[in-house]
Amino acid sequence: VRVSSTVQRSLNVGTNLVVVSLVQGDPEKLSDAIDCAPRGEKFDWLLSVNINGEILSPLMWAIRDGKFALAEYVIDHLLEIRADRHAYYYGREKLFERHP
């Protein structure tokens, strides 16, 4: 799947905030988009986007397009240790499930 053709289709069909930030190469917009994700879905939003039935990885998209600030944001956000009342968690497992 060529990312450029998928990007063009996504722009024609409409997109979500994660895709817009990836196309524009803006880490601040990606941060704003991820802040809108429901609790428990942030890792999923960082690891896959659905464009016309094609599942793409925002991390691979950023790397292929040379948008390394976006790739760094994704990796940093996934590997940041978080805690709630019940447990500590971070996205290492999800990262390696999606990118073995």
The residue among 65, 85, 78, 59 whose CA lies nearest residue 23 is: 65
pLDDT in tens, 1-53: 566 666 565 555 556 889 889 988 999 999 999 999 987 899 999 999 988 78
pLDDT in tens, 48-92: 998 878 899 999 999 999 999 999 999 999 999 988 888 888 899
Burial of 57 (0-12, 13-18, 19+ CB in 10 A): middle
Left if phi > 0, otherwise alpha if psi is -120 to 50, otherwise beta: which for 38?
Answer: beta
Sign of CA dihedral 2, 91, 25, 52: positive
Give pTM, 2 decimals.
0.78
Tell me the domain boundaries of the chain. 3-98
